[in-house]
Amino acid sequence: MSLSLVLIAIALALLSSALSLGAGREVRIVRLVATPLIGLSGLLACTAGLGILATGNSLETVLPLGLPWLPWHVRLDALSGFFLILLGLVTAAVGLYGSSYIRDLEHGRDSIAALGVFTGLFLAGMELVLIAADAFVFMVAWELMSLASYFLVAFHHEHAANRRAAFLYLLIAHLGGLAILLSFGVLAAFGAGFGFESMRAAPLSSTWASVVFILAFIGFGAKAGLVPLHAWLPQAHPVAPSHISALLSAVMLKVAVYGFIRVVLDLMGEVQWQWGVAMLVVGGASALVGVLFALVQTDLKRLLAYSSVENLGVIFIALGLAVLFLSTGHPLHGALALGAGLYHALNHALFKGLLFLGAGAILHSAHERDLEQMGGLLRRMPWTGSLFLVGSLSISALPPFNGFVSEWLIFQSALQSWQIDSGVLRSLIPIAAAVLALTGALVAATFVKVYGVAFLGQARSRHVRRAREVTPAMQISQGILAALCILLGVLPTAMIELIDQVSAQVLHLGLLQTSAGGWLWLTPISPDAASYSAPLTLVLLVSLMAGIVWWLRHRIPRRIRRCDPWDCGFAPPSPRMQYSATGFAQPVRRVFAFFFDSEEARLDPLEPAPRYRLRLDEPSWRLFYRPLAQATYTAARWIVRLQSGNLRIYLGWTLGTLLILLWIVS
Amino acid sequence: MSLLSWYVACIQALLILGLAPLLIGWVRRVRAFLQNRRGAPVFQPYLDLYKLMLKETRVGHTASPLFRAAPYAIFVSTWLAAATVPLIALDLPTAWIADIIALVGLLALGRFFLALAGMDVGTAFGGMGASREMLVSALAEPAMLMAIFTLAMTAHSTNLVSVMESHLADGFILRPSYLFAFFALILVALAECGRIPIDNPTTHLELTMIHEAMLLEYTGHHLALMELAAWIKLLLYGVLLANVFLPWGVGQGLDPLTLGRGLGILILKLAILGVALAVGETVLAKMRLFRVPLFLNLAFLLALLGLLSHVILEVGS
């Protein structure tokens, strides 16, 4: 039943794509039929995921597609189900939102039909990846997802910068795809079959297992935007239309996480501690680099994209902890860390989806992405502003919102490092926790900046001053995601029970007694070791606040008078006197100058209108990409010598190759 | 968790409100004495609060609704955070609601709203204060969590009550990790409470303000709530230092005599800490903003050393 729901969901996504293709001049079809179908497809996928997690078993079938001797196997199990829920929730909101959002684009130069076609294909690809049960269908779906999203990134292709971003995305996606293909190749060779079932049984030596891990880590890590393969992400995600940015950041990155968990924890099973160390290092670096670059951005959507790098880093820190605990013989704590990582993946999908939709709402009504031009939007757009605040509080890991729960769980599992025998690992894990703590505090600074500059204060430009609230459909879709953020923050135990099914399927054991104390208490290790009651925290916060408001209103004559701001008695504040986004980030930029390649130029301050210019580059270009490109170029210059243009020499090469092959075979 | 312990928890929560102004009054008094001034009486902060409550409240024309909601959010989150720390009795049900990581989270929630409130009216000083506050907290929070993790890993628990109980059960052992964590937490407390050498709570020089800059636009009962929240935060850090590292004296029962003795010992500990703070503030000068990272890096390194010396020296043996 659940599996057929997913297949129907995929069919709906394909139908949406076909309808858009046939829309021709009637572009309204995309808005009125195709985009809602996307949302419906998401809703079905979510229902199917919930269904499979509720029953706890797994379903599989063979599709009459593919090659004659290699039909497509699909399988729906708890791990797929969890990620289908994640995909479905965000997609449902995006479908509702997109219908209103693309109305503006209908009059633009870009083809709405193309947007509809590739959105449908993109969604179908992601859903198919999640239920793939052999390497063949997995790779087909994976490439469908990558290629369709390339066209979505290149949607506004009239700008050269967007085309360049899309090309970079395509390049790194394909390098990653190649690595994934090779890792499946090794597994298939040892397991004698492309099916995941036979790969699970593959007898791998520890060296070959490490080869599979490294390839999978590079492949899925490139898609997830881990440092140093992250450079495409902050360029590609922001240039797509905002609801697509939400899908890319909130869902597609999680599909990469799914693939990684599927290959490393499910197909391979036996893990090694060195992998965990690699994941902690790369995850920690991604988290720190991501948040520092998010903090200094002034383009709202690019800032959110960098923040995705950070959150994926946090997820991989949690997965790295899981691998470390599993490899050192503490499977229960490994399950806890895996659960924390999955919880954070879901949380990130919800709040990043919400924030991208909020950024889209600002773009839609004020036509502005630059923070330096915004200001005072909370009074112009009260609903979007309030919901964006929920997203900001959630992503900053503040109680009682959802980001805090997953961060808390990661800290709790990191604190179990005393159980590990090796002293090196025991001290490495707390350092990872320290990076996580630093990251969390910097995220809060980032979102204080975003919210303070964009929504508070006064408008810094005329078009922002005239911004209007967006349509009800766009508000509702943001509201759904915001409500889910609060729900997952306040009632974590319900979600943990669902995640329990995943760890039961992947690791064959449940989480520790995380919800042993009833729905009120979250107690991952034991009630004595740590407890957090999100419902009571919320109730106390709200009731105390209401109580104080009520008490003050009755006891003290409340006279509130509006007046000019004081500002230490200087001239009455003008919008230009407000702190800018660049100014807000300056102290952090200076303290962490090591991480930035920056170039600051001040022109003569005595000029009547002195200007300030700041250019920030990523050191990864200098340290990683340019040397890599240079090496590729040099290698190509060597290889080009083979191409002499002389037929006899070519025949000679062919003969030589044949001889070598014969020698190897014999 | 008996009903009686919930009553005691409520009493402790109210006691926080009562003690916080007293502590700040005491610190100010001692500081005045050290600086050869006469100073205001110890009870002056209560009178200040009363005065602010009665005064007219003004709100800037450009302020959004968040400006008026923020003082309540800041006050309540700080108060709730403080209410999870065992003050005079160990058997505290509120400690189970939020463990020490959640306590740091609640403080961060208050700070988030404080910084937003600073930016809300759109004045230059408010944004400056918010930017600096977030820098200081971004550097202080990891140090604080590391110091806390040292305690938590020793006790195998992040629950403050369990930490203190295990500490009491072990008796007085001078652990190197605790010593490092203690000094790290002192540095963090100075930064987080906006005391000299990080921030000067009595400053009137605009360009050096951090905490005051964010409160600049607040008046009347809004300002009273924000001031009280800041004082509660000072009390909270004082109690963390006094009760978690030296838990002797905190009542392990719930009878009035134990509680009374607990209160007496707590006031004594806080009075000593207050004198130390006043002496420190008299002999030190405020730092330049860009010296602050060095100060907080020191705190972080101390905390990290504490943690490493715990996992390397103390776990294996």
What would the DSSP string read from start to end of B242-303?
A: IIIHS-TTSBSS-SHHHHHHHHHHHHHHHHHHHHHHHHHHHH--PPPGGGHHHHHHHHHHHH
Within-domain flag for A42: no
Q: At which of A521, A551, A581 does a domain end?
A: A551
Residue to test with chain B: of A407, A410, A418, most B Cβ within 10 A:
A418
* Bridge-based pairing state of the strands A70-76 and A560-563: unpaired
Domain finish residue from A501, A526, A551: A551
- Contact state of B130 with A552 under an 8 Å Cβ cutoff: no
- Which of A379, A540, A578 is closest, CB to CB, to B64? A379
Query: Does residue A432 lie within any of the structural domains?
Result: yes
| Complex confidence, ipTM | 0.95
How far is the alpha carbon of A296 from chain B, nearest alpha carbon, in Å? 12
Total domain count, chain A: 2
| Interface A-B: count of C-beta contacts within 8 A | 273
> Which residues of chain A neighbour B141 with C-beta distances below 8 Å?
437-438, 440-441
Distance from CA of B41 to the nearest CA of A (A): 25
A435-494 pLDDT, tens digit each:
999 999 999 999 999 999 999 999 999 999 999 999 999 999 999 999 999 999 999 888
CB B66 to CB A378 under 8 A?
Answer: yes
Mean of the per-residue pLDDT values of chain A: 90
Q: What percent of chain A has pLDDT over 70?
A: 98
* Full residue range of the structural domain in which residue A643 is found: 630-665
User: For B154-172, how does the pLDDT look when each residue is reduced to its tens digit (9 = 90+)?
Assistant: 888 888 888 888 888 887 7
In a domain, A564, yes or no: no
Give me the residue from A456, A558, A586 closest to B57, CB to CB: A558
Sequence-distant contacts of A468-472: CB under 8 A, at least 24 apart: A468/A365, A468/A380, A468/A381, A469/A365, A469/A380, A469/A381, A469/A382, A469/A383, A469/A384, A470/A100, A470/A361, A470/A364, A470/A365, A470/A381, A470/A383, A470/A384, A471/A100
pLDDT score, position A570 = 77
Cross-chain residue pair A573–B131, CB shorter than 8 Å: no
One domain, residues A443 and A341? yes
Cβ separation B315–A564 shorter than 8 A: no
Q: Do A427 and B311 touch (CB under 8 A)?
A: yes
Distance between CA atoms of residues A227 and A440, nearest Å? 18
CB atoms A566 and B289 under 8 Å? no
Identify the weakest region by mean pLDDT among A267-271, A428-432, A564-568, B58-62.
Answer: A564-568
- Cβ-Cβ contacts under 8 Å, A426 against chain B: 311-312, 315
Neighboring chain B residues of A393 at a CB cutoff of 8 Å: 109, 112
Q: How far is A561 from chain B (nearest CA, A)?
A: 5
Tens of pLDDT, residues A113-127? 899 999 999 999 999
Residue A285 lies in a domain: yes
The string of DSSP codes covering A378-403 is HHHSHHHHHHHHHHHHHHTT-TTSHH
Look at A529 and B60 and tell me if their CB atoms are within 8 Å: no
Long-range CB contacts for residues B45-49, cutoff 8 Å, separation at least 24: B45/B21, B45/B231, B46/B21, B48/B21, B48/B227, B49/B21, B49/B224, B49/B227, B49/B228
Q: Are residues A348 and A490 in the same domain?
A: yes
The reported pLDDT for the residue numbered B317 is 47
The answer to whether B62 contacts A417, with C-beta atoms less than 8 Å apart, is no
CB nearest B138 (choices: A398, A415, A588): A588
3-state secondary structure of A286: helix
B158: region left, alpha or beta (phi > 0 left; psi from -120 to 50 alpha): alpha
pLDDT at A202: 84
Contacts of A447 in chain B (CB under 8 A): 112
Same domain, A365 and A472: yes
Domain ranges of chain B: 3-314
Q: Residue B30 — very low, low, confident or very high, per pLDDT cuts 50/70/90?
A: very high
With cut-offs at 50, 70 and 90, classify the pLDDT of residue B75. very high
Instruction: Read off the pLDDT of residues A186-204 as tens digits, 9 standing for 90 and up.
Output: 999 998 888 998 898 888 8
- A375: chain B residues, CB-CB within 8 Å: 122
Out of A375, A458, A531, closest to residue B99 by CB: A531
Task: From A552, A625, A556, A614, select the one nearest A589 (Cα to Cα).
Answer: A614
A282-298 pLDDT, tens digit per residue, is: 999 999 999 999 999 99
Q: Strand A560-563 relative to strand B57-60: parallel, antiparallel, unpaired?
A: parallel
Do the Cβ atoms of B311 and A430 come within 8 Å? yes
Residue A24: which of A100, A114, A108, A144 has the closest Cα?
A114
Q: Which of B58, B149, B157 sits opposite A433 (nearest CB)?
A: B149
Put simply, the answer to whether A573 touches B142 (Cβ < 8 Å) is: no
Domain end position, chosen among A551, A569, A597: A551
Of the listed ranges A24-28, A428-432, B209-213, the one predicted with least confidence: A24-28
Q: Do A559 and B56 touch (CB under 8 A)?
A: yes
* Cβ within 8 Å, pair A563-B60: yes
Residue A165 maps to a domain: no
Shortest Cα–Cα distance, B164 to chain A (Å): 12
A435 neighbors A284 (Cβ within 8 angstroms): yes
CB pair distance less than 8 Å for B62 and A440: no
> What residues does B251 pair with on adjacent strands?
B89
Asked if the Cβ–Cβ distance from A412 to B158 is below 8 Å, we say: yes
The closest of A385, A407, A387, A411 to A396, measured between CA atoms, is A407
Chain B residues touching A562 at Cβ < 8 A: 58-61
